[in-house]
Each structure stands twice: as C-alpha cells, then as structure tokens.
Amino acid sequence: METAKFVTEVTVVDPDSKGEVQLSVFKHCRGGMFAMDSSYLDQVLPDEGDCMIPDPFGVFEKGIFISNDGVKLTGI
C-alpha cells in the first residue's frame, strides 16, 4: 500500500475567488510531493482509522490511469 506523510499546511490565494485557502502538503512514499485543500480533508477524514484518497501518482499509460489503488495519508 502506498503512503503519503503530512509535511505542513500552507496558505495560498485562490486565483478565482481571491480568498485564502489552506493546503495540506504531503510527501509521497515514491518521492513526490502534493497538496490538497485542507477543508476537503476535514470532510473526508474518518473519526478513526486510515484516510485513503486516490493516488495522485497512480500508474499512467498514455495519459490514462491504469492502476490507482489509493494512497493512505499519515501524520495528519
């Protein structure tokens, strides 16, 4: 199972609404980093147990996802 460890939270300005948005930054076990809207994570995080999301570094072939078993978020 792929994992991604929480690194930090950053604030950015949404280019459409011009409002501030908090992003949670994660380090993927394969080396890449990605960020997700923190308010989305607040909505999908279970009260207990692991949080699984679609893997942003899933296996691609010719621009199409072939495999995406998900990634477990840790350290949140």
pLDDT tens, residue by residue, 19-49: 999 999 999 998 999 999 999 888 887 777 6
Does residue 65 have a pLDDT over 70? Answer: no
For 47-60, write each residue's pLDDT tens digit: 776 788 888 887 76
pLDDT > 80? residue 66:
no
Q: How many domains are there within the chain? A: 1
| CA–CA separation, 65 and 53 (whole Å) | 15
Please count the CA atoms within 13 angstroms of the CA of 35 that sit on its side-chain side: 12
Amino acid at 18: K
Query: Three-state DSSP class for 64?
Result: strand
Domain, as residue range, for 31: 2-74
CA atoms within 13 A on the CB side of 71: 22
> 32: which residues sit within 8 A by CB, 6+ positions away?
56, 57
